[in-house]
Amino acid sequence: MTLGFDYIGDALAVDGVSLADLAGEYGTPLYVYSAEVMRHNYRRIERAFAGADVMIAYSVKSNSNLAVLKVLKDLGAGFDIVSGGELIRTQRVGIPGERVIFAGVGKTEKEISDALDAGVSEFNVESEAEAERINAVAAARGERAPVAIRINPNIDAKTHKYITTGKRENKFGISMGRALELAGRTRTDLPNLDLIGIHCHIGSQILDSSIHPRVVEAVVDFARKVMDKTGQPLKTLNFGGGFGIAYEKGQTPLDLQPFADALLPRLAELKVKLLLEPGRSIAGPAGVLLTRVEYIKKGEERTFAIVDAAMTELLRPTLYEAHHEILPVHRNDRETGRMDVVGPVCETGDFLALDREGAIPHQGDLLAVMDAGAYGFVMSSTYNARPRPAEILIDGGKALLARRRETHEDLLRAEDEVFAAN
């Protein structure tokens, strides 16, 4: 079983708390996260890079619930954000700017000046145009902005095409040749940029442990060229996140050891601080989506379990053809067979699992969609006028309501305010 999740008797529990009890109290669909599993996952990364001067900057976009951010804050984590909205979330839980890194390809002027107000530790710059904009905003304020250039090393992360970011054809980062030119410009026509580092994140859900050592070679080699060109030392090397987790039986999470072995000696040579931006590997295995079976429908070809969660709660199966294990909350000896687990949303693409072998549930049964702690709730939508589910954080054997279930009033508010006046 996944760490933190196990059957007590026949009842699936998280850190000893019964999932059926939580569904009874808070309703379904329901997200449930284990703080302890997040801590464990964070410490695994910390241990792998022990001996380096490192900041593990949790990727806020993977799960941005305030209670989750607080757990990471208390561990001493840094935070990687990709929008002004995520900056506000870090501020809500009292995370200081020096523990925040600002990434993303489309930073607006307002986001840049808000991030300067907050004193973020680094802007990851993704294009020449963005470098020029950050330079202009900083100049208008009479400041210098700390920046790292995000390079695109053209290394294939061998993951799903929608979560590959380090290939030439992706929108992320700058090719090495142009990045070197841009680094030079920080000494001439971009004087309000303080070039402090190099950033590289080539994709998500990477499971092949030979990839990161290649990225290390590319980034270290490039960092040396930049220092030669500018005559200035760099302070940070940022390798992003992307550490893969085991979604399917038989998979193992990314082994970080080859990465650490390749990297640690180089960090010492270059005298730079290491930055990492893991999201999925911390939050993913720590969460489940609980859902109840509304109907069993026997089709001509296959059986459909129609559940009360949908692509609106968990988009990953639809968007990435992603696999999530689905477990019965009450272990049972129901007849097995092949089924599609689908939601009520009016889209053929609305499914949580296709052609899955397992115990065919009965109407009213609870199912747990595993490894849903990252890129789950944060990608939820209200399509079909569906209020978003509640989120629960389990910590120290206690359940904390981390977000209440949305109501129809919540969904209608922005329209109600103007509708009556029209």
Ligand X SMILES: *Cc1c(COP(=O)(O)O)cnc(C)c1O
* Nearest distance, CB of residue 103 and ligand X, angstroms: 4
Residue 67 CB, nearest distance to ligand X (Å)?
19
* 242 scored as a contact of ligand X (CB under 6 A): yes
List the interface residues with ligand X, window 193-232 (CB under 6 A). Answer: 201, 204
> How many residues make contact with ligand X (CB under 6 A)?
18
Minimal distance in Å, beta carbon 374 to ligand X?
Answer: 6
The nearer residue to ligand X, 23 or 179, going by C-beta atoms, is 179
Here's the x/- map for ligand X, 18-57, by CB under 6 A: it reads as: ----------------------------------------
241 binds ligand X (CB under 6 A): yes
Minimum distance, C-beta of residue 93 to ligand X, in the bound complex (Å): 19
The binder of ligand X chosen from 107, 212, 280, 356 (CB under 6 A) = 280
Instruction: List active site positions.
Output: 346
Each residue of 174-196: b (16+ CB within 10 Å) or e?
bebeebbebbebbeeebebbbbb
* Residue 240 sits in the site that holds ligand X (CB under 6 A): yes
277 lines the binding site for ligand X (CB under 6 A)? yes
What is the smallest separation between the CB atom of 207 and ligand X, expressed in angstroms? 11
Rounded distance between C-alpha atoms, residue 332 and residue 350, angstroms? 26
Question: Please, what is the minimum distance in Å from the beta carbon of residue 44 to ligand X?
Answer: 13
Per-residue interface string for the shown chain with ligand X, residues 312-351, x marking contact by CB under 6 A: ----------------------------------------
- Give, as ranges, the residues between 129 and 168 that touch ligand X (CB under 6 A): none
Nearest residue to ligand X on Cβ basis = 241
Given the rule CB under 6 A, which of 25-33, 91-99, 216-224, 274-282 is the region that contacts ligand X? Answer: 274-282
Comparing CB distances to ligand X, the nearer of 150 and 386 is 150
Nearer to ligand X, 60 or 339 (CB): 60
Binding to ligand X (CB under 6 A) within 87-116 occurs at 103
Q: Choose the stretch contacting ligand X; rule: CB under 6 A; options: 25-33, 209-217, 273-281, 312-320.
A: 273-281
Which whole-number Å values give the CA distances from 27 to 60, 188, 297, 367, in the listed order?
Answer: 26, 60, 23, 13
- Tell me the closest approach of the beta carbon of residue 194 to ligand X, in angstroms: 20
62 binds ligand X (CB under 6 A): yes
Task: Out of 80, 340, 350, 391, name the contact with ligand X by CB under 6 A.
Answer: 80
Q: How many CA atoms lie within 13 A of 289 on its CB side?
A: 31
Which residues of this chain interact with ligand X, rule CB under 6 A? 59, 61-62, 80, 82, 103, 201, 204, 240-243, 277-281, 374
